[in-house]
């Protein structure tokens, strides 16, 4: 049964977080009376919610996303295809759960930011770069040059933005490539690819990592228009409380309806004008949207009622107890998060298949765990010391862009996409709230220090897969010199 499979996948991804919180509660930072059972209850809601949500994506959104991409491409009207890509990019971000969570976190830390404007800019950024991704495939443009030019412009613009907006701008891209946007955009891209006459495997990658760039650009522009913020370092009125699920429920239902109705309406318009799918298929898609509604409702209930408050409380408690203990917990959090993310396991399977077994799954998993663990360590180091995010991001992405010109084309989009898929729901809920709590505890400014942790989770997998691509290229060269065919 599909739902049981999804429950197993999501349960596996969240179990390490449950184990870590339990150990911290027992031996390091007791959470207080009744908080741990509330956290377990919220984890149950998150697991069931994400499983229903992912099932809804599979049976509701993926088929219609792929069908829209293929049908609009067959019209051979580039304008219609680009308009559809931009529209889908905007609408899917409105419904993306990671963005909704990020919006709430920002509202609590930096009230100077209009979060409605923020979400609108993120959506427009995704729409713009989805258009660029379509143009790249249609006209067979070089993905590596798009990355090089985009990151050069992005970092140039970022030098003009206040620190309070910098981490958030980069995190917005990681949050935008969440559990709804990633499969829907990929399905749309697959639909386009199936109709293209000249197509290669490399064209199947790159859409997601391009979608990560767009929101960052958009929020950097917001930073230029909002030069001063009112975020107060160390200002803490009280740790958010866990529980109270029934009180949260009405607002969450309203939020989910507002998120899904534009997406449902868009799908219905395309069904009436272009797709004309039979009733049986539309009924299945309708059931998928019901799963989406139920899943998102339970997910937000669990995240807001338990995961985010407990993550905040643990980060604050550890930072208060001994700030350098944050380094060890950050290392551990990064490692277990990347290994428990289902999309990462899909990624390592892809790499092993593409390299015909030359890059083994255990090798890649180990490299990712070490890399993202180091990212978690560095993110906590930045919170403790207040080091600028530049010291970490510029060298990492400069190296990634250089490697893009040295590795096989197939690995270029795959490497950058891998960073996008590694920052799943746990990064935008538990880990980000942990970082915010830690920043308050050490007397930092969460607006400039805590935000940025999602992009830290994203950057290491990009470098890891790119380096593996370089190793694969050298292995192929050695085999060719020995007269061995791969």
Instruction: Kindly report, residue by residue over 129-166, the tens digit of the pLDDT.
Output: 999 999 998 888 899 999 999 999 999 988 888 887 88
Sign for the CA dihedral angle at 421, 426, 432, 435 comes to: negative
Give the integer Cα–Cα distance in Å for 336 and 120.
33
**What does the pLDDT average to over 55-64?**
90
8 Å CB contact between 18 and 297:
no
**What does the pLDDT average to over 72-86?**
91
Characterize 128-146 residue by residue with b for buried, 16 or more Cβ atoms within 10 angstroms of its Cβ, and e for exposed.
Answer: bbbbbbbebbeeeeebbeb
Sign for the CA dihedral angle at 26, 30, 33, 37 comes to: negative
Place of tokens 């699920």: 245
Using alpha carbons, select from 11, 42, 473 the residue that is nearest to residue 245: 42
User: How does residue 85 score in pLDDT terms, banded at 50, 70 and 90?
Assistant: very high
Give the integer Cα–Cα distance in Å for 454 and 428.
7
DSSP line for 350-372? HHHHHTTTSS-HHHHHHHHHHHH
Give the integer Cα–Cα distance in Å for 333 and 23.
13
Q: For 118-128, how does the pLDDT look when each residue is reduced to its tens digit (9 = 90+)?
A: 999 999 999 99
State residue 233's pLDDT score: 46
State residue 238's pLDDT score: 44
What are the residue boundaries of the structural domains of the chain, listed by start?
2-481
Mean pLDDT, all residues of the chain: 86
Give the integer Cα–Cα distance in Å for 88 and 67.
13
8 Å CB contact between 13 and 340:
yes
8 Å CB contact between 203 and 186:
no
State residue 237's pLDDT score: 44
State residue 234's pLDDT score: 43
State residue 476's pLDDT score: 79
pLDDT greater than 60 at residue 185: yes
Whole-structure pTM over 0.85, yes or no? yes
Using alpha carbons, select from 328, 313, 163 the residue that is nearest to residue 241: 313
- Identify the burial level of 12 via C-beta atoms within 10 angstroms of its C-beta, where 0-12 means exposed, 13-18 middle and 19 or more buried: middle
Q: Do you know the residue count of the chain?
A: 486
Give the integer Cα–Cα distance in Å for 100 and 126.
15
């Amino acid at each position: 049964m599909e739902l049981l499979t999804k429950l197993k996948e999501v349960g596996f991804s969240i179990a390490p977080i449950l184990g870590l919180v339990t150990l911290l509660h027992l031996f390091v930072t007791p959470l207080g009376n009744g908080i741990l059972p509330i956290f377990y209850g919220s984890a149950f809601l998150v697991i069931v919610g994400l499983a229903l949500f992912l099932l809804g994506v599979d049976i509701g959104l993926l088929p219609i996303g792929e069908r829209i991409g293929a049908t609009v491409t067959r019209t051979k009207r580039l304008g219609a295809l680009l308009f559809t890509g931009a529209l889908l990019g905007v609408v899917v971000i409105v419904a993306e759960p990671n963005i909704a969570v990020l919006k709430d976190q920002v509202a609590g830390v930096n009230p100077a930011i209009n979060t409605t404007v923020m979400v609108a800019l993120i959506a427009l950024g995704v729409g713009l770069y989805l258009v660029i991704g379509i143009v790249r495939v249609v006209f067979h443009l070089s993905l590596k040059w798009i990355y090089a030019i985009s990151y050069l412009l992005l970092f140039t613009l970022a030098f003009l933005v206040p620190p309070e907006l910098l981490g958030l701008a980069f995190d917005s891209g990681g949050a935008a490539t969440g559990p709804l946007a990633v499969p829907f955009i990929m399905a749309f891209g697959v639909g386009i690819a199936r109709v293209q006459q000249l197509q290669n495997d490399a064209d199947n990658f790159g859409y997601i990592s391009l979608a990560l760039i767009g929101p960052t650009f958009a929020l950097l522009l917001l930073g230029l228009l909002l030069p001063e913020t009112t975020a107060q370092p160390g200002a803490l009125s009280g740790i958010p409380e866990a529980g109270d699920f029934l009180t949260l429920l009405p607002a969450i239902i309203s939020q989910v309806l507002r998120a899904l109705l534009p997406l449902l309406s868009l799908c219905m318009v395309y069904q009436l004008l272009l797709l004309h799918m039979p009733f049986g298929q539309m009924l299945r898609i309708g059931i998928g949207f019901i799963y989406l509604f139920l899943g998102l409702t339970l997910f937000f209930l669990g995240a807001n009622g338990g995961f985010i408050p407990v993550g905040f409380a643990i980060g604050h408690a550890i930072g208060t107890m001994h700030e350098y203990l944050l380094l060890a917990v950050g290392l551990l959090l990064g490692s277990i998060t990347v290994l428990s993310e289902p999309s990462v396991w899909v990624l390592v399977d892809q790499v092993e298949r593409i390299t015909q077994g030359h890059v083994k799954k255990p090798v890649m998993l180990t490299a990712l765990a070490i890399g993202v663990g180091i990212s978690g360590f560095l993110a906590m180091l930045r919170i403790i010391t207040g080091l600028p995010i530049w010291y970490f991001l510029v060298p990492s992405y400069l190296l990634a862009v250089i490697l893009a010109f040295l590795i096989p084309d197939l690995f270029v989009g795959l490497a950058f996409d891998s960073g996008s898929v590694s920052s799943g729901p746990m990064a935008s809920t538990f880990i980000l709230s942990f970082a915010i709590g830690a920043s308050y505890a050490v007397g930092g400014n969460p607006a400039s220090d805590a935000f940025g942790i999602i992009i830290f989770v994203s950057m290491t997998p990009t470098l890891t897969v790119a380096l593996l691509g370089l190793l694969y290229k050298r292995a192929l060269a050695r085999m060719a010199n020995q007269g061995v065919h791969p």
